């Protein structure tokens, strides 16, 4: 029997390089000040956009998953107390298989990707309360106190991409592919990465991965050193 699996092999959805990720987030960070300097509205929207993009990358979430996260889904991880109340995220509306309810999973924020914590904490403790959300459950609320839509998150990405001068074929899902690739390059196991992103099959995770030549050469060197000893690279 053939199984239906998630297909994420669109060639436009490649992972961003580290330099591209940095350029994207630098552009997102610069936008609020740019708008204020031009006397234009939208600085608060731009602040939220920068925060949601960084959070999506850090947790590797899809746009709908990011949209539907609530503050109660952010929790401490006792194994990583330095990340404070953002050590894990409960994803309650993960991509479902055909005919099945949404998948749930817990995503851990890894120490190497914990730099968005201050941005996320600023949003939770200062910017979100400024919008007077009342009892609205959403983490990412709009100025009209609604839940930020997946489309709006996508628009935040496209704006930052344009400001950074990146390839116009890149889309928001590239951040998820970047999360997968960078976890792999950091040395996390294939099983851990698959669990992080909620794939049913390792093959789907592999499709999303695009490790650099430098990383592959590092693996090759380690393998050759293992087999041939420390002097393998000076052999004739």
Question: Could you give the number of structural domains in the chain?
Answer: 1
Q: Is residue 140 part of a domain?
A: yes
β partners of residue 88? 75, 108
Determine the Cα–Cα distance for residues 26 and 115; give it in Å rounded to an integer.
13
Bigger pLDDT: 219 vs 41: 41
| Percent with pLDDT over 70 in the chain | 82
Determine the Cα–Cα distance for residues 89 and 58; give it in Å rounded to an integer.
10
- Over residues 6-18, the mean pLDDT reads 67
Q: Is residue 7 part of a domain?
A: no
Q: What is the pLDDT of residue 66?
A: 97
Return mean pLDDT, the chain.
86
Bigger pLDDT: 207 vs 52: 52
User: How many CA atoms, within 13 angstroms, populate the side-chain half-sphere of residue 208?
Assistant: 28
Q: What is the pLDDT of residue 214?
A: 58
Determine the Cα–Cα distance for residues 195 and 155; give it in Å rounded to an integer.
28
- Over residues 137-157, the mean pLDDT reads 97
Three-state DSSP state, 107:
strand
Q: Is residue 3 part of a domain?
A: no
Ranges assigned E (strand) in 82-230 = 88-94, 103-108
Would the pLDDT of 234 be above 70? no
Q: Which residue has the tokens 């959300």?
A: 133
Q: What is the pLDDT of residue 225?
A: 59
- Over residues 22-50, the mean pLDDT reads 95
Three-state DSSP state, 70:
coil
Q: What is the pLDDT of residue 219?
A: 45
**CATH number of the domain where residue 228 is located:** 1.10.443.10
- Of 86-90, 121-125, 159-163, 231-235, least confident by mean pLDDT is 231-235
Domain range holding 60?
18-234
Asked if 154 contacts 140 with a C-beta cutoff of 8 angstroms, the reply is no
Q: Is residue 2 part of a domain?
A: no
Which long-range contacts (C-beta less than 8 Å, at least 24 apart) are formed by 188-192? 188/110
Determine the Cα–Cα distance for residues 192 and 223; give it in Å rounded to an integer.
22
Q: Is residue 11 part of a domain?
A: no
Q: Is residue 171 part of a domain?
A: yes
CA 1-189-205 angle, to 5 degrees, is 40
Q: Can you give the pTM of this predicted structure? A: 0.84
DSSP conformation class of 117? H
Q: Is residue 223 part of a domain?
A: yes
Q: What is the pLDDT of residue 113?
A: 93
Q: Is residue 77 part of a domain?
A: yes
Q: Work out the pLDDT band at 70, boundaries 50, 70, 90.
A: very high
Determine how many CB atoms are found less than 10 A away from the CB of residue 90: 14
CA 14-20-26 angle, to 5 degrees, is 140
- Over residues 104-111, the mean pLDDT reads 96
């Amino acid at each position: 029997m053939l199984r239906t699996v998630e297909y994420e092999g669109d060639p436009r959805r490649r992972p961003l390089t580290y330099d591209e990720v940095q350029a994207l987030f630098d552009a997102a960070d610069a936008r609020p000040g740019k708008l204020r300097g031009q006397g234009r509205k939208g600085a608060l929207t731009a602040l939220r956009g920068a925060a949601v993009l960084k959070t999506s990358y850090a947790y590797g979430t899809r746009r709908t998953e990011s949209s539907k996260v609530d503050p109660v889904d952010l929790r401490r991880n006792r194994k990583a107390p330095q990340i404070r109340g953002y050590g894990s995220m409960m994803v309650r509306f993960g991509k479902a298989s055909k005919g099945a309810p949404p998948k749930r999973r817990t995503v851990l924020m890894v120490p190497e990707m914990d730099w968005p914590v201050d941005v996320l904490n600023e949003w939770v403790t200062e910017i979100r309360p400024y919008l007077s959300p009342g009892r609205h459950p959403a983490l990412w609320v709009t100025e009209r106190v609604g839940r930020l839509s997946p489309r709006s998150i996508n628009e935040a990405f496209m704006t930052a991409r344009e400001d950074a001068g990146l390839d116009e074929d890149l889309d928001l899902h590239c951040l998820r592919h970047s999360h997968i690739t960078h976890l792999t390059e950091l040395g996390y196991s294939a099983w851990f990465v698959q669990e992080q992103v909620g794939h049913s099959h390792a093959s789907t995770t592999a499709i999303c991965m695009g490790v650099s030549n430098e990383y592959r050469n590092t693996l090759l060197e380690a393998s050759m050193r293992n087999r041939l000893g420390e002097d393998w690279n000076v052999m004739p």
